[in-house]
Structure 1
Amino acid sequence: MELFHEISRKGPILDTVTYATLLQSMFQLGRVSTTCELLRKMLASGQIPDIVTSLILLNGLCETGHIKEALKLFEAMRNSGLELDVVPYAILIDGLCKVGLVKVAKELFHQLSDKGLKPNVCTYRVMISGQCKDGLPNEAYRLFGSMGDNGCSSDSCCSNVMIRGFLRNNYTSKATQLLTEMVGKGFSADIFTATLFMDFIVYSNGSILL
């Protein structure tokens, strides 16, 4: 970062490539605060990273909980004219859900159709998981059920996430029903779902199966 300040003082304004190189280097070194400061300077100068660098940074900022900076970068990406597909939306939705901003994530999710984009399985899984963790299993299940309407079939992973969401919110009968449906479609419970079911069986003396 000292090199960046030195170049900024003595030389011309840094170009996008130089900014992108510095950003990726700082992030790889684990200097997240420095990366955020550098990103703020870059955006303030009217520049944004290319799409590849932007996605790396967006994912990194979300993974480290720097949602405010991630939102700023995402808005800059949208306003820059970059052709955005569903990937950056999925990354940000995941980041928002992880910090409990499920309502904001939901708004972003519904913006996909306005942009002519269709959520993929990953995007659905993230949104379903976020709503379940926020204590909204019924809302999550409605979203789960709407996947086919948008041409996106639920997979084993989505089904497992939904079942775990039911269990963690004490909707055991719905979890059992969905598990039965899932098995009927040829899916199977993963180790996390199976373990959670076993825990409930133990604590309920087997009544979960009745």
Structure 2
Amino acid sequence: MGFKNLLCSYEFMASLLVQVGMLREADGLLFDLEGEEISLDNHEIFSYLIEGYVNMKELERSVFVYDFMRGHGMISLRLCYHVLVDLLVRIQRTELAFRISVDMLDFCGKLNCANAKTLENLVILICGNGKILEARNIVKKVLPFNPEVSSFVFDEIAFAYCEKKDFNDLLSFFVEVKRVQSVVATNRVINSLCSSYNVKMAGFFMQELENIGFKLDEVTYGILIGWSCREGNMKNSMNYLSLMLSEGLVPRIYTYNTLISGLFKVVLLEHARHILNEMMDRGTPPDISTFRVLIAGYCRSRRFDLVKSLIHEMDNGGLLNFRQWRIHFPGRLPFWDLTL
């Protein structure tokens, strides 16, 4: 009676109980000691206890033990952080996952691949909940130790900012971390900027991204050209076309079609034909949609002589297939018959 074991004896007993899966018994021993004001500051035992609870899907108990550790100034093992955050992400307990992930980043330094992947999934989850500030804070903490953060993470942050239409904050984030999202995500941002504001705002955004290494592709230019045409600013659209060609990029056919349609809207009929010649010279043959745009434009301008010429071009190019038309649309005249 009254005999007290050494601390190392308690540590040995608790460790053995955890190893054989008797978590409740180990848990009871550790907290009974706390009640007797015997502090067992062995972070490994507590970490393994948390890991055991996580494996048994006893989330609340694992978080309770974790908070007890933190309250006593103990730092968990890296694996403990990983399994706990991973579970919280999988069951979408976002706030808890974020809180513990911040501790992991503060105390673990460089992350391994598994840790980094878990945090990437957390960032995606946080962005989906609209908590962009928390997501970008995690990324900023990760980058100094793990610069190879997946571009998918930056895409999700960009998409979240797009939803909020907070383009200034998005730009400041990418300038700060000197990283940009993928071309696909950037094109979505540019299109959203044009839709919400104007091409001028989108152009400014693009210049800032180019300063930190982003390269425009033919789709990016196509978006800027398309919205410039919609705004009736054909000078701007032709400037973007010139820049695009100077960089060796080949416009998509829908970009050419948009340009032709835009020229008709401002009654520049002769330039529309120049665009047609330009696209053929650069190896982009016009398709049925191109000729539809041209015929519609010439009809509105009452230039039926040019309409007739275009239809002959279509016939010579094999784009007029009366037999296929009759099969798919029996009893109906093709649009070129109606035009003439």
**TM-score, normalised relative to structure 2:** 0.47
Pairs aligned (count): 193
Alignment of 1:151-162 (within 5 A): 151-162=283-294
Once the two structures are superposed, residues 3-26 of structure 1 have per-residue CA deviations (whole angstroms, 9 ceiling, x without a partner) of 446788x98958796664333024
Contact residue 264 and residue 272 of structure 2 kept, 8 A = yes
State the partner residue of 2:272.
140
Tell me, which stretches of 5 or more residues in structure 2 are unaligned?
Answer: 1-126, 144-148, 326-333
Contact residue 144 and residue 162 of structure 1 kept, 8 A = no
**Residues 173, 71 of structure 1: alpha-carbon distance in 2 compared, 3 angstrom cutoff:** same
**Residues 39, 102 of structure 1: alpha-carbon distance in 2 compared, 3 angstrom cutoff:** farther
State the partner residue of 1:110.
242
Distance in 2, matches of 1:117 and 1:78, equals 16
Contact residue 19 and residue 49 of structure 1 kept, 8 A = yes
Contact residue 65 and residue 95 of structure 1 kept, 8 A = no
State the partner residue of 2:222.
90
Kindly indicate whether residue 204 of structure 2 is the aligned counterpart of residue 69 of structure 1.
no
Once the two structures are superposed, residues 27-85 of structure 1 have per-residue CA deviations (whole angstroms, 9 ceiling, x without a partner) of 3xx53x33x24334335545543323212212233344532332123223433333433
Letter paired with 1:185: G
Distance in 1, matches of 2:290 and 2:197, equals 24
**Residues 135, 42 of structure 1: alpha-carbon distance in 2 compared, 3 angstrom cutoff:** farther
Deviates more, 1:97-106 or 1:159-168: 159-168
**Residues 187, 135 of structure 1: alpha-carbon distance in 2 compared, 3 angstrom cutoff:** same
Distance in 1, matches of 2:159 and 2:276, equals 36
Letter paired with 2:169: L
State the partner residue of 1:206.
none
Contact residue 105 and residue 127 of structure 1 kept, 8 A = yes
Task: Report the 3-state secondary structure (helix = DSSP H, G, I; strand = E; otherwise coil) of the residue aligned with 1:147.
Answer: helix
Following superposition, the deviation at residue 106 of structure 1 comes to 0.2
Kindly indicate whether residue 182 of structure 2 is the aligned counterpart of residue 41 of structure 1.
no
Task: Report the 3-state secondary structure (helix = DSSP H, G, I; strand = E; otherwise coil) of the residue aligned with 1:118.
Answer: coil
Contact residue 159 and residue 185 of structure 2 kept, 8 A = yes
State the partner residue of 1:128.
260
Following superposition, the deviation at residue 158 of structure 1 comes to 1.2
Letter paired with 2:173: M
**Residues 37, 19 of structure 1: alpha-carbon distance in 2 compared, 3 angstrom cutoff:** farther
**Residues 160, 55 of structure 1: alpha-carbon distance in 2 compared, 3 angstrom cutoff:** same
State the partner residue of 2:159.
24
Task: Report the 3-state secondary structure (helix = DSSP H, G, I; strand = E; otherwise coil) of the residue aligned with 1:145.
Answer: helix
Instruction: Report sequence identity in percent.
Output: 23
Following superposition, the deviation at residue 88 of structure 1 comes to 1.1
Letter paired with 1:194: F
State the partner residue of 1:204.
none
Q: Which has the larger radius of gyration?
A: 2
Distance in 1, matches of 2:132 and 2:253, equals 41
**Residues 41, 170 of structure 1: alpha-carbon distance in 2 compared, 3 angstrom cutoff:** farther
Tell me, which stretches of 5 or more residues in structure 1 are unaligned?
Answer: 202-208
**TM-score, normalised relative to structure 1:** 0.72
State the partner residue of 2:335.
194
Distance in 2, matches of 1:151 and 1:12, equals 44
Task: Report the 3-state secondary structure (helix = DSSP H, G, I; strand = E; otherwise coil) of the residue aligned with 1:119.
Answer: coil
Larger relative contact order, structure 1 or 2 (CA cutoff 8 Å, min sep 6): 1
Distance in 1, matches of 2:184 and 2:171, equals 18
Task: Report the 3-state secondary structure (helix = DSSP H, G, I; strand = E; otherwise coil) of the residue aligned with 1:54.
Answer: helix
